[in-house]
Structure 1
């Protein structure tokens, strides 16, 4: 994906093609997530997350999202993070229980 981003930017001269950093799929493919964050945050336009294994909410698998999200912030990512996980068997609102309460109601600013 990074090669495509680089090729499009080189061909157009616009430098506006960006990477979708999907931490779930990167993890499923065996990527070192800290290394991906370090190398590609500057080329990233959007991040999406789900825990691995199972594609559930953070805390249902093995990924340390506190660390990963902190790592992204330290690497300079200040965009939104898409929650791309299965809500589980309970009501959908329960799938957000892992988020600190103030962030559950957060909305993007214009």
Structure 2
């Protein structure tokens, strides 16, 4: 049986959840901005007949993210895993666009 949190803990959780909701909104906004940049990249790749996946660039981005995470005291493996998934999703987005 789970114990009910105290009213102080409940209030703290509510406040922290609001902060998380705000951060989630900011992250979605930033991802949308990133997608707009990817759309511009797609146009260049289409014109230059470049592939969506460029392994050297992926490794460059992941190394940079690891360094940034370490500097911010964010678990580096978590950051890299999130970015790796995000990159794969954006590559799939690019591939669909390039196939049109």
Q: TM-score, normalised by structure 1?
A: 0.28
Which has the bigger relative contact order, CA under 8 A and spacing at least 6? 2
Structure with higher strand content? 1
